[in-house]
Amino acid sequence: MQENPVMNIRNSRKSLVLGCLLAVFGAALSSAADAACTQANMVGTWYSMGVSGDSYFGEMGEIDRCKLVVNSNNRVVASSSSCIYRDARGQFNYQVTGGTINVSSDCAVIGSINVCDSGYCNTIRIQYAQMARDKNTFSMVGYLTGDTDVVFFYKLVKQ
């Protein structure tokens, strides 16, 4: 069976035009949907829930809940923030003593949360986090700076 050269040229042109239209439409849609983040998107009250534990021993035995208030200076407001964790021994509180949380124009979230538990203070470093398109949620991976084997996986929702 012989191929029709005219049909092949038409099909190639249709494919090229369709591909160009999809590329233009995709670029326009993604730029509209991914508006830049500003620090104003970070300001407010964030509620987190997640797990934490010791990655060296493979134990993710804590369930954590936090309320973090971030002001317009990127600071975690200690007097309005708190964390509760539950492990096999029961439920306990982290005293939040401060920290900073920033968001970049491409919506990457960086920062740290200072916490104390039974007189032992440390810092949760946000290692990787990305704010969602809605600017009201982000997921984060972090670690304890005093013991980098202790890791945190949180989902945060702005209220």
Ramachandran angles phi, psi of 21, nearest 5°: -60, -45
Q: What is the CATH number of domain 39-158?
A: 2.40.128.120
Tell me if 91 sits within 8 A of 84, measured CB to CB.
yes
Query: Can you give the pLDDT at residue 119?
Result: 85
Query: Can you give the pLDDT at residue 35?
Result: 79
* pLDDT tens readout for residues 24-79: 333 333 343 457 999 999 999 999 999 999 999 999 999 999 999 999 999 999 99
* pLDDT tens readout for residues 68-122: 999 999 999 999 999 999 999 999 999 999 999 999 999 999 999 999 998 899 9
Consecutive H or E run containing 44: strand 44-54
Q: Is the pTM of this model over 0.75?
A: yes
Tell me if 91 sits within 8 A of 85, measured CB to CB.
yes
